[in-house]
């Protein structure tokens, strides 16, 4: 198996729905099981979290940092932004948050406002650099240090040949040295989870987006791995969602509902982000009146809430907050001219009986990364 496969797992969730509101798993309803070679759930429960860095430079003093969110009405963007803000305060900086509202024009305006405000650093949350190239060039020319979490086309990911549009990057772990590797492993882990939860028979409706690079990476890896480990499974159809659809959730619900009508074979709905649960994905699944396995997620409080309520059977999770502490740490190292260090972020399966966090919380990894980063910054401060 692949290098990361031996270590395991990434974000994903499973929601089981029926027209009557049943949450009985499809695998338990009498569907004939088929052979598959997916890794067992026990290994997904164990997770792959490592440890945060314990050494590094002293906090650069008196820095003003702007945090530009992909869109605050999406749970993953909002939780990541909050994590960056908290980390900036802990290291001793003054953060300013700007909502990009899923609009390249708005995000570019936020970047330019950071330049005008004489910010020292810029943290982008899941922004496609190709859509704001001019604004980023202006920020770098003005001397800002720039880091982008889960963003692409910035000139630092494997295979990217365009200009370098950031100062530093987030390194997920020693096992996944880039977000491309991390997200591809996410897709593979999701495929293994679908094979397990469907007893090797899942027929998948994939939700994807051409304008969200992370989702494209996940989907490609998911589809390839599903073919490799689950001969009885298949991606039976696909439905495209755009970032603009987040502004009007009825569009997402209608697109997914229509796709389910067109694909009566689908037993699994593969959703790439927790925000889509409340943006129409769950409503579409309920509307179908069919018993579906709805799979996807990030381990946000939204997704974990559905696990706790019984609608979501489980989520393969990672910590967005941990990633944002890593982003602030990378930015601090950039202020000192030092390269980023692996964050140690891992992946872990959460369900009603395994790894469930306290009520109201998102996924909580077993490593106290906040304490580790804080101790490192204070020790060297």
What does the pLDDT look like over 188-198, one tens digit per residue? 988 998 999 89
For residue 273, pLDDT over 90 is answered with no
User: What residue spans define the domains of the chain?
Assistant: 12-49+179-317, 64-170+322-335+367-380
The 3-class secondary structure across the chain, one letter per residue, is CCCCCCCCCCCEEEEEECCCCCCCCHHHCCCCCCCCCCCCHHHHHHCCCCCCCCCCCCCCCCCEEEEEECCCCCHHHHHHHHHHHHHHHHHCCEEEEEECCCCHHHHHHHHHHHHHCCCCEEEEECCCHHHCHHHHHHHHHCCCEEEEECCCCCCCCCCCCCCCCCCCCCCCCCCCCCHHHHHHHHHHHHHHHHHHHCCCCCEEEEEECCCCHHHHHHHHHHHHHHHHHCCCCEEEEEEECCHHHHHCHHHHHHHHHHHHHHCCCCCEEEECCCHHHHHHHHHHHHHHCCCEEEEECCCCHHHHHHHHHCCEEEEEECCHHHHHHHHHHHHHHHHCCCCCCCCCCCCEEEECCECCCCCCCCCCCCCCHHHHHHHHHHHHC
The whole-angstrom separation of Cα 215 and Cα 195 is 20
The whole-angstrom separation of Cα 380 and Cα 329 is 13
More confident residue, 271 or 146: 146
Q: Which of 16-25, 86-95, 117-126, 295-304 has the lowest mean pLDDT?
A: 16-25
For residue 186, pLDDT over 60 is answered with yes
Highest mean pLDDT: which range of 5-19, 117-131, 349-363? 117-131
Note the pLDDT tens digit of each residue in 64-122: 999 999 999 888 899 999 999 999 999 999 999 999 998 999 999 999 999 999 999 99
Residue 238 CA to its chain's centroid (Å): 20
For residue 61, pLDDT over 50 is answered with yes
Q: How confident is the model at residue 249 (pLDDT cuts 50, 70, 90)?
A: confident
Q: What percentage of residues in the chain have a pLDDT greater than 70? A: 91
The average pLDDT across 222-234 equals: 96
Q: Which listed CATH number (2.60.120.260, 3.65.10.10, 3.40.50.1820, 3.40.50.2300) goes with 12-49+179-317?
A: 3.40.50.2300
Whether this model's pTM surpasses 0.75: yes
The whole-angstrom separation of Cα 253 and Cα 233 is 25
The average pLDDT across 13-32 equals: 38
Do the two domains 12-49+179-317 and 64-170+322-335+367-380 of this chain adopt the same fold? yes
pLDDT the model gives residue 381: 59
Q: How confident is the model at residue 6 (pLDDT cuts 50, 70, 90)?
A: very low
Q: Which listed CATH number (3.40.1280.10, 1.20.1250.20, 3.20.170.30, 3.40.50.2300) goes with 64-170+322-335+367-380?
A: 3.40.50.2300
Note the pLDDT tens digit of each residue in 37-59: 999 999 988 999 999 999 999 99
pLDDT the model gives residue 1: 37
For residue 10, pLDDT over 60 is answered with no
């Amino acid at each position: 198996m692949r290098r990361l496969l031996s270590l395991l797992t990434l974000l994903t969730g499973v929601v089981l729905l029926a027209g009557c509101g049943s949450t009985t798993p499809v695998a338990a309803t009498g569907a004939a099981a088929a052979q598959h070679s997916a890794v067992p759930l026990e290994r997904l429960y164990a997770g792959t979290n490592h440890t945060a860095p314990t050494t590094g430079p002293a906090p650069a003093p008196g820095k003003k940092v702007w945090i530009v969110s992909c869109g605050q009405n999406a749970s993953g963007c909002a939780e990541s932004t909050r994590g960056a803000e908290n980390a900036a305060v802990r290291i001793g900086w003054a953060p300013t948050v700007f909502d990009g509202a899923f609009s390249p024009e708005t995000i570019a305006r936020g970047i330019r406002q950071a330049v005008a405000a004489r910010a020292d650093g810029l943290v982008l949350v899941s922004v496609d650099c190709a859509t704001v190239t001019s604004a980023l060039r202006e920020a770098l020319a003005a001397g800002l240090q720039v880091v982008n979490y889960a963003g692409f086309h910035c000139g630092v990911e494997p295979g990217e040949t365009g200009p370098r549009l950031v100062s530093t990057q987030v390194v997920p772990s020693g096992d996944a040295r880039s977000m491309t590797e991390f997200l591809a492993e996410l897709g593979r882990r999701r495929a293994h989870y679908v094979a397990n939860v469907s007893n090797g028979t899942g027929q998948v409706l994939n939700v994807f987006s051409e304008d969200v690079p992370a989702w494209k990476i996940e989907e490609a890896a998911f589809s390839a791995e599903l073919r490799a480990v689950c001969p009885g499974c298949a991606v039976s159809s696909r439905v495209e969602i755009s970032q603009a659809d987040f502004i009007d959730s009825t569009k997402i619900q209608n697109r997914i509902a229509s796709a389910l009508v067109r694909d009566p074979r689908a037993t699994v709905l593969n959703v790439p982000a927790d925000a889509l649960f409340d943006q129409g994905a769950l409503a579409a699944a309920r509307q179908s009146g069919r018993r579906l396995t709805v799979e996807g997620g990030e381990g946000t409080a939204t997704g974990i809430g559905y696990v706790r309520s019984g609608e979501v059977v489980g989520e393969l999770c990672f910590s967005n907050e941990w990633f944002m502490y890593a982003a602030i740490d990378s930015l601090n190292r950039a202020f000192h001219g030092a390269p980023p260090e692996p964050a140690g972020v891992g992946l872990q399966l959460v369900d009603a009986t395994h790894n469930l966090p306290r009520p109201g919380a998102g996924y909580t990894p077993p490593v106290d990364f906040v304490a580790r980063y804080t101790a490192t910054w204070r020790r060297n401060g």
